[in-house]
Structure 1
Amino acid sequence: MKEISPSQNLNVLEKPLVQKIINLDPIKKLEKSSAQSQWSIQDSEELYGINRWGIPYFSINNLGHITVAPKGNRGRSLDLFKLVKALEERSLNLPLLIHFPDIIEDRIEELNSCFAHAITRYNYEGSYQGVFPIKVNQQRHIVQAIVNCGNNHKYGLEVGSKPELLIALAQLKESNALLICNGYKDQKYIETALLARRLGYQTIVVVEQLSEIKLAIDTAKTQGIRPVLGIRAKLSSKGDSRWGNSAGDKAKFGLTISEIMEAIEQLKAAEMLESLQLLHFHIGSQISSIATIKEALTEASQIYVNLSQLGASMKYFDVGGGLGIDYDGSHSHFPASKNYSMQNYANDVVAAIKIACETQKLKVPIIISESGRAIASHQSVLLTNVLGVDKIPTFPIDIEKDKCHSLVQEMANIYDAINSANCQESYHDILQLKKEGESLFSFGYLNLKDRAKVESLFWQCCQRIQGIVNHTNTGFDGLETLNELLFSTYYCNFSVFQSLPDSWAIEQLFPVMPIHRLNEKPTELGILADLTCDSDGQIAKFIGSQEVKPHLELHQFYEGQPYYLGIFLSGAYQEIMGSLHNLFGDTNAVHVRLDSEGYHIEHVVRGNSMAEVLKYVQYDSQDMVETMRQKTEKALKEKRLTLKESWLFLKHYEEALCNYTYLR
């Protein structure tokens, strides 16, 4: 899909001859004005919003490359384009996932600092201990980085399953760090969690279903271990995000108020009420409005103080997750944003709990938050390369008045007459003519050759109208669909289903932009398509300054020249939730840390080979090779294949099994 050089494109305002219309190449999607050379870094910053969603980690340097400052305002920055080139020289092919553990450390430091400031501001006599929900990103090097970076803050882990519990037990080092055990539980889960207390772990088993109370009581008596228990409450307050059903009467997890009272009675009967020490609630992920958080805190605080008054030895208040990040940089009550800062969040949590406890003259608890997205999102950048571009096809057209179909001539006349005064009317006319042409063709009144002419003329008219609109910079009613018709498709070397499943499943917005050429004006409007054969394998919604855009501004793609795109803030959930659609596996991943000499590659995690991916779906690569060997022997015997051809085929087959699932 080779691009044509700019000099070959027709001027959007130039009229062709009526008798003969020749358009060798599509007109650019955006008018390339004389101000092209005046395009600045600041223009790119505004266009892609990097100064809204990227601070303090991402910015643009004077070369027009994105830079990454892994330690935020406390350290140096790296040129992302140069880093990618250096990694390619190490045979780390794109798509490539780059992790920055220094960003994880900075996020943990910021979260703890915010709560420390809030505790000081409100004279709160308790403390804060965060935990990271492993479900957000279970990759070993990520969990290790979180444990290591959070060690000074007694930063713990939260698990929601037995496999995650096993990970946490193997990774946690600090005996004072909390291990919050959520999720569905059976006897073995609870036994493991209780026995871990003998090893010095601060495990807290959070009851999510009423049936787990009896399990916990029976297991504790059998093991002779006094447990520390928590209760997850179903709040009437509900989140405002896609995950709002995490709370409310129909929430998947948690106990209703009546169930909480029943749990209290069961614990009293077992003489274990003092084991109940924690209240937990969760109203959803990525909460965009601080008002929603305040409402939930008010209700949960009252549950906490009432549990204390009923005799429970309450010590911990777990506010769950929900702390959002600003994907689009709008600082608004929008699903891809949030209208509060991390400091606002910490202030409201501390203030609400203090007021409730002070009113009832109770000792304030240790505050726990399970902030995963806010910790993990920024540390990961997905890099992909553009493989080619699909533009609206236009071809040379010869029109002779006495030979062509009247519909073709009518379309050609409209093309000749298009100007700034009639472009709106012309657009509606050509839409109707195109529809008529399709209908005439279906009934046999228009041949294939003339239909091709109608189709090509339609696209040329659209391009000419768009050129006039962009040139005059005037909005025309009724032309809203024009740009959408003329988008280019940029084919990128990755799988949406593997690397950005939330983009496909719930239309989550992630910042997407080129990582270089940002000192050049982008002249194309496009959407991104991945390598899968699924029509859903694309990104067709992008963040804008005030609204969601159906396109991304991109630069012209030249065959043989690399064009790299970055997908940012994708470190939460995406890596672990990816699927093997079309058997595209995990991407290559590297962990990059700053050091005194610049940076070093801390870890390299090679992406899946084809043999590894095939094993997931129960195919044995050795059996497959042997099957193909037998088939080539049969073809040789029947003289359908030469010995050299059979050797070459088997060589390609075996090499492919060992190779990366993505294109090289």
Structure 2
Amino acid sequence: MSKPAEWSVEVSKQLYGLEHSIRGEYLTIDETGALVLKIGDESVRIIDLMKKYGFETAYIRFLPAIKSTMKKVFETFKTLSQIHGYTGKFQPVFPMKVNPIPLVIDAIWRYGEEFNWGFNSGSIGELRLLHRYLDKGSRLLIYDGVVSDNVLKLLMDFKKAGWHVIVDVESEHDLQVLSKYGEINVGIRVKPFYKPGGKWSHSAGLEGKFGLTINTLLKLIKEYKWLNERAILIHIHGGSQIYELKHIAAIFDEARILFNDLRSIGFENISIIDTGGGMAYPYHDSRKGTPESPNYTIVDYLNLLIRKFNDVHPHPTLVFEGGRYIVASHRIVVAKVVDVRPYSTEYKPFETGNGERLIGIPESLEGIKKILQYTRDIQSKIKGKTLTLAERERVEDIITHYREEIIVKLAEIIRSNPSSVENIINDPLLYKILTSPSRRFIVNLSLFADIPDSVLVNQYFQVTPIQKLNEKPDVLAVLGDLTCDSMGELREFISDVEIETSVDSWFNRMDFRISHLPKKYLKLGGIPLHLPGKDEDYYLAFLDTGAYQDPLAMKHNLIYGAPEIVIDINGSGKPVIKVLKHGRKSYL
């Protein structure tokens, strides 16, 4: 039997989510413990980039990640279609709302040429941005925003330039406008009856924002006789980031039935099915079927899609809209830790003149729980009372002393009897204290500006140090940004390490909190990090911020516009790095 591992780079890779089906292809740790980007045959240490350009905060855009995910999607479909004998076309499109900044749209255009990657637009502003590619080639363009004469005039430019333009209809207003533009093909967008799980489930169902109900559609078919001639696409969107495959299957089933039924009542020109953008990105790759970790892969998703439509003849063209999946991994936010503070009160052990502890902690778990309850009772009894400075100091010292001594005692119990960890982590009170933060790291960024979904929808983003990854973490820390808003904090961390490690490595070096347990899926109350040394520049990376974060960025406290380090590959496979400073060097 092999000896359990001490701390190593391999443990860090699993703890910080670097053995990942997407980002794992280009992000790893070198022998010095530094986070590195693999670029062809070369590698670049992220800390070297930050120091070279003198940035305390930066967005690192690794554009080859976009090409890599596009290729993965396209080749996966190609392989599966051959296995199943599916003869229908595969038509990927990029929903521009996911990230409409010119840098990303240009990457989609360039990298998407070999895959005929199209675009999905929902506003006149997006159409104007895309207009610069009007005469550079032709792609599929699906428009599903509010229709107006101004929108249709722009879409006619694309049509005349040879683009394949389809406008989704969602209301009678859309049909009234489209009646004047007979050259434009239309798609019929229908509300899914089924409501999947997830943070965006409200967008499906009869009350959902997008699409026509069936009774409205049947009424409009009678009033607009031309609809069955010009309709070539069915669109049904079940919501974003659908994390369970069974919910994906239900949406596909609805789409298939709708497709067949509409063709049976005279919509013979319908040959394209767009099942929306439900494909979930694995912000954590543990496949648990949670909002941050879908229980399926791109292989599972496309395999299901093909199987659901394999008995429809002739095989329809299948549209793939997974924009989040394509661009999430390309952007990394890197920021320097500028201050380290106690999370709560600072620990000061009570000792006699001989160094002996004045207050002992019981050996039994039940005794420990009674002490924890006692500290809660103290806070409850003094609630609303006015304390002198001396009284306040004494109360804080007692509560902190008990909390920290209990954590040390629990660590001792586990070290002497590792099997006891099961009883401890299965007790909510003991689990919470062993996975609680001990420090607050102030980081040179704004969550509102740089990672807004962490505030808006509590989206999980993987955090990792960019150095010291060959060392055991020191503490569990909550991350506070530079804003004056109490929501500007990030604390959730998923620990999922499969390697068998020694008992000693389970605990942080300084605060004795648990950083991981082998083969246990844990949600920690803080992020395992190292305490920066004196005068040390210590940086953190926030991964997978390439979808939605750019267009949603706010100017909260007028903190915005981080400099960017853009990495691409030239025709010889060599890295090309350029810097966009956006007018500022740092937040401080």
TM-score (norm 1): 0.77
Deviation at 1:507, TM superposition (A): 0.9
Deviation at 1:173, TM superposition (A): 5.7
Matched, 1:573 2:516: no
SS in 2 for 1:129: strand
Structure 1 or 2: more helix by fraction: 1
Question: Match of 1:303?
Answer: 258
Distance 1:36-1:435 versus aligned 2 partners, 3 A rule: farther
Contact 1:36 1:520 in 2 (8 A): no
Name the CA distance, whole Å, in 1 between partners of 2:4 and 2:77. 47
SS in 2 for 1:377: helix
Name the CA distance, whole Å, in 1 between partners of 2:152 and 2:301. 32
Max Rg structure: 1
Name the CA distance, whole Å, in 2 between partners of 1:146 and 1:397. 58
Question: Match of 2:409?
Answer: 468
Name the CA distance, whole Å, in 1 between partners of 2:557 and 2:533. 28
Which residue of the other structure, out of 7, 25, 34, is the alignment partner of 1:65? 34
Paired positions, count: 545
Matching residue's letter, 1:428: Q
SS in 1 for 2:430: coil
SS in 1 for 2:561: coil
Matched, 1:227 2:152: no
Pairwise mapping of residues 91-490 of structure 1 onto structure 2 (< 5 A)? 91=54, 93-171=55-133, 175-217=137-179, 219-220=180-181, 225-268=182-225, 271=226, 273-312=228-267, 313-355=269-311, 357-358=312-313, 363-391=314-342, 392-394=344-346, 415-421=358-364, 422-436=367-381, 442=386, 447-473=388-414, 474-475=420-421, 476=424, 477=427, 478-483=429-434, 487-490=438-441
Name which of structure 1's ranges 324-333 and 249-258 shifts more when overlaid on structure 2.
324-333
Name the CA distance, whole Å, in 2 between partners of 1:119 and 1:437. 68
Name the CA distance, whole Å, in 1 between partners of 2:120 and 2:31. 42
Name the CA distance, whole Å, in 1 between partners of 2:293 and 2:346. 40
Contact 2:477 2:528 in 1 (8 A): yes
Matched, 1:40 2:8: yes
Contact 1:213 1:266 in 2 (8 A): no
SS in 1 for 2:566: strand
Name the CA distance, whole Å, in 2 between partners of 1:201 and 1:37. 57
Matching residue's letter, 1:337: S
SS in 1 for 2:305: helix
Deviation at 1:436, TM superposition (A): 4.5
Contact 2:332 2:546 in 1 (8 A): yes
SS in 1 for 2:374: helix
Question: Match of 2:514?
Answer: none
Matched, 1:86 2:80: no
Name the CA distance, whole Å, in 1 between partners of 2:147 and 2:493. 40
SS in 1 for 2:484: coil
Contact 1:397 1:453 in 2 (8 A): no
CA-to-partner distance for each residue in 1:455-496, whole Å, 9 max, x for gaps? 223313322221121233255554344346652111101111
Name which of structure 1's ranges 244-253 and 58-67 shifts more when overlaid on structure 2.
58-67
Distance 1:398-1:571 versus aligned 2 partners, 3 A rule: closer
Contact 2:350 2:358 in 1 (8 A): no
Matching residue's letter, 1:517: K
Deviation at 1:311, TM superposition (A): 2.9
SS in 2 for 1:320: coil
Deviation at 1:661, TM superposition (A): 6.0
Contact 1:231 1:278 in 2 (8 A): yes
Question: Match of 1:662?
Answer: 587
Aligned identity (percent) is: 26
TM-score (norm 2): 0.86
Name the CA distance, whole Å, in 1 between partners of 2:348 and 2:140. 70
Matched, 1:587 2:562: yes
Matching residue's letter, 2:194: S
SS in 2 for 1:338: coil
Question: Match of 2:527?
Answer: 552
Contact 2:37 2:46 in 1 (8 A): no
Deviation at 1:64, TM superposition (A): 1.3
Deviation at 1:396, TM superposition (A): 6.8
SS in 2 for 1:306: helix
Name the CA distance, whole Å, in 1 between partners of 2:253 and 2:432. 47
Distance 1:400-1:300 versus aligned 2 partners, 3 A rule: closer
Contact 2:47 2:466 in 1 (8 A): no
Deviation at 1:248, TM superposition (A): 1.2
Name the CA distance, whole Å, in 1 between partners of 2:483 and 2:575. 34
Name the CA distance, whole Å, in 1 between partners of 2:357 and 2:171. 69
Name the CA distance, whole Å, in 2 between partners of 1:430 and 1:226. 74
Question: Match of 1:629?
Answer: none
CA-to-partner distance for each residue in 1:325-357, whole Å, 9 max, x for gaps? 2112111211111122212211221222221x2
Deviation at 1:413, TM superposition (A): 11
Structure 2: runs of 5+ lacking an equivalent: 415-419, 497-520
Contact 1:510 1:543 in 2 (8 A): no
Distance 1:256-1:434 versus aligned 2 partners, 3 A rule: closer
Name the CA distance, whole Å, in 1 between partners of 2:293 and 2:526. 19
Name the CA distance, whole Å, in 2 between partners of 1:388 and 1:77. 34
Matching residue's letter, 2:260: V
Name the CA distance, whole Å, in 2 between partners of 1:330 and 1:397. 40
SS in 2 for 1:339: coil
CA-to-partner distance for each residue in 1:363-415, whole Å, 9 max, x for gaps? 222221111011001111111111111114448799999xxxxxxxxxx9994
Distance 1:395-1:311 versus aligned 2 partners, 3 A rule: closer
Deviation at 1:175, TM superposition (A): 3.9
Deviation at 1:187, TM superposition (A): 2.1
Name the CA distance, whole Å, in 1 between partners of 2:529 and 2:81. 46
Distance 1:105-1:484 versus aligned 2 partners, 3 A rule: closer
Distance 1:415-1:161 versus aligned 2 partners, 3 A rule: farther
Contact 1:124 1:350 in 2 (8 A): yes
Name the CA distance, whole Å, in 2 between partners of 1:117 and 1:486. 47
Contact 1:438 1:451 in 2 (8 A): no
Question: Match of 2:490?
Answer: 539
Matching residue's letter, 2:17: G
Which residue of the other structure, out of 448, 454, 461, is the alignment partner of 1:503? 454
Name the CA distance, whole Å, in 2 between partners of 1:256 and 1:186. 21
